[in-house]
Amino acid sequence: MAKILTITNQKGGVGKTTTCVNLAASLAATKKRVLLIDLDPQGNATMGSGVDKHDLEGSSYELLTGSLSAEECIKTGLPCGYDIIGANGDLTAAEVELLQLPRREFRLKMALLPLAERYDFILLDNPPSLNLLTVNALSASAGVLIPMQCEYYALEGISALIGTIDKIHKRLNPELKIEGILRTMFDPRMSLTRDVSVHLVEYFGDKVYRTVIPRNVRLAEAPSHGLPVLHYDKSSRGALAYLALAGELIRRTEAEQKKQQSEQLETQEAE
């Protein structure tokens, strides 16, 4: 059963798309079956995966509006190691069209049902705003991975995002939870970075990933080559950090699955 994760933050420039692309590549490198879905009309995750956003036969626009099935929208056999449903400017029109469609908040969830057994992880990249595209992503997901910089304004932004997640959890998706908080563009030489990091761990505890993503030139250069950093410079600090994050996510997921199986057994024995 695929684990569907939304990677989002309502604040821009925090490494959201960078995390989606590089986490997908790192999970694929561990032999996990991964699908990345780009839900941002800018199509940065698409281009960063080596796919021309202007030459898509099927995209997340067709997926959400139902004009093509998920299977018809997937691009496979990419050098990055994962499959992708790309996005481009057409997606801007999807928001308006979705308003006219039944169960508009659940279009993505319904479209992904046939892929449940095909992948281990489905990662959703989102625009840096709360709109119907993001609501669809949150309604379809089991968890939210929140990339954030350790700076003052980021703390304000994360409180607003948590409020949004709580509303979606109550109204649309009772399974939704915060999967984890990822500290990005991390520079331990800055006292503010260290202070905010400490506050995050104090407040969110083990929801904060141990892995931190450093500021890294190779990580910044890789998208211009249409490659995840793992395929651009696998020995760079950025590549090693995302491999570590993938390992941490896999371990958490496996522990969670074992716990669920144990609870199910206890329930069956009690009956």
Bridge partners, residue 148, by sequence: 183
Residue 155's pLDDT band, with cuts at 50, 70 and 90, is confident
Report how far residue 215's alpha carbon sits from residue 76's, in angstroms, rounded to the nearest whole number. Answer: 31
Cβ atoms of 64 and 108 within 8 Å: the answer is yes
Helices (H) and strands (E) in the chain, counts: 12, 7
Which pLDDT belongs to residue 192?
82
- Share above pLDDT 70 across residues of the chain, in percent, rounded to a whole number: 100
Residue found under tokens 């948590």: 162
Domain ranges of the chain: 3-270
The answer, yes or no, to whether residue 158 has pLDDT greater than 90, is no
Q: What's the pLDDT tens digit per position in 193-248?
A: 888 898 899 989 999 999 999 999 999 999 999 999 999 999 999 999 999 999 99
Which pLDDT belongs to residue 227?
97
The answer, yes or no, to whether residue 26 has pLDDT greater than 90, is yes
Q: Give this prediction's pTM.
A: 0.95
Q: What's the pLDDT tens digit per position in 78-89?
A: 999 999 999 999
Q: Which superfamily does 3-270 belong to?
A: P-loop containing nucleotide triphosphate hydrolases (3.40.50.300)
Mean predicted confidence (pLDDT) in 95-124: 95
Q: What's the pLDDT tens digit per position in 44-74?
A: 999 999 999 999 999 999 999 999 999 999 9
